[in-house]
Amino acid sequence: MDSPILDLAGITLEVNHLPRGVRFYTHLFGLDLTRHDDDKGVAEFRVNDSQSLTLWKPITRRKNDERLGKLRARGASHLHFAWQVQEADLERCKTILDAYDVHWTELDLGTPERPDRTLYFYDPFGHGLELRGVNLSDERQPTFPPKPTERSAHALPVIGLREAAIGFSDYDAMKERLPRAYGFCFVKEQDDRDFAQFVLSPRPELDGDGTPQRWLYCWDPQIGLADMHGGDHATLKFYADVDAVARRVAQAGLEHGHDDLGLVVRDPEGHVFEFVHP
């Protein structure tokens, strides 16, 4: 049976200084700022035609978003997430990061026959960022394929969001619940730690080798690759067959809300997932 999950639509981060976050993601990434509301502590950016990045400032006893706030949604803290760049642009990314005095680490997640290079660094708030090379001609295309985007020559040439990694204290329960209660498509897990990979696509696909597909990584709260944590109380948005996900969520008895905008669900571990029509 195909998964009702289609693609990654957006990521929400928690930041303790909204203007600094706006400067970082506007200047270093060249993202278009589509909303900046200091009173609500919200800044929203356009990543491309189908994906967005949102910053929320923690505001005591108030909600950044009334609709999601009903499920006690927060932006993720210390989230690890990845961006897609064209493989040929990775060397230029190093130069740009150096110009902004951002320390980076390079790892090769591939093989000698097929390298899969990636750059890791942090934003000013402790979120772990990754730049992952993508082969745009790969036949494994997501619902919304990444496309070259015109950005400032001084900005990282990102073309899409690739993945988000979130933490679960009860790993075994998560691994059973995510496919059953939402329909996420499990692909594999690592041999040496509790680390499950779910592809954000209707059908199983293998990770790596420049795939343009998008991913949800779920692991234990321990530090993972490149000293990065999976995020807690994450707020993530996915494109999906909303009605199909809603039936699963209702049967699982999870706390949720369903309206004309889509479906929002609070996972037992405190993450809030939003599912919207493509």
Q: How confident is the model at residue 109 (pLDDT cuts 50, 70, 90)?
A: confident
pLDDT > 90: percent of the chain: 83
pLDDT of 241 > 70? The answer is: yes
Please report the pLDDT score of residue 206 as a whole number.
82
* Strand 235-240 relative to strand 5-14, pairing: antiparallel
Task: Report which of 140, 168, 175, 155 is spatially closest to residue 47, judged by C-alpha positions.
Answer: 155
Please report the pLDDT score of residue 55 as a whole number.
98
**pTM, to two decimals:** 0.95
pLDDT of 51 > 80? The answer is: yes
Rounded to the nearest integer, the mean pLDDT of the chain is: 93
DSSP annotation of 78: S
Please report the pLDDT score of residue 190 as a whole number.
87
Please report the pLDDT score of residue 177 as a whole number.
98
Please report the pLDDT score of residue 224 as a whole number.
66
Could you read off the pLDDT of 166-185 as tens digits, one per residue? 999 999 999 999 999 999 99
Q: How confident is the model at residue 127 (pLDDT cuts 50, 70, 90)?
A: very high
Q: How many domains does the chain have?
A: 1
Q: Do the beta carbons of residue 209 and residue 114 sit within 8 Å? A: yes
Residue with tokens 């589509």: 34
* Cα–Cα distance measured from residue 79 to residue 164, given in angstroms and rounded to the nearest whole number: 7
CATH classification at residue 180: 3.10.180.10
Of 1-15, 123-137, 217-231, the poorest mean pLDDT is in: 217-231
pLDDT of 163 > 70? The answer is: yes
Please report the pLDDT score of residue 148 as a whole number.
92
Please report the pLDDT score of residue 59 as a whole number.
86
pLDDT of 56 > 80? The answer is: yes
Q: How confident is the model at residue 43 (pLDDT cuts 50, 70, 90)?
A: very high
Please report the pLDDT score of residue 60 as a whole number.
79
Q: How confident is the model at residue 226 (pLDDT cuts 50, 70, 90)?
A: low
Give 188 or 109, the one with higher predicted confidence.
188
Please report the pLDDT score of residue 166 as a whole number.
94
Q: How confident is the model at residue 108 (pLDDT cuts 50, 70, 90)?
A: confident
* Cα–Cα distance measured from residue 233 to residue 43, given in angstroms and rounded to the nearest whole number: 18
Could you read off the pLDDT of 180-213 as tens digits, one per residue? 999 999 999 988 888 999 999 999 988 888 899 9
Give 59 or 54, the one with higher predicted confidence.
54
Q: How many CA atoms lie within 13 A of 86 on its CB side?
A: 10
Residues 6+ apart with CB under 8 A from 10: 51, 52, 53, 54, 161, 236, 237, 274
Residue range(s) defining the domain that contains residue 106? 5-276
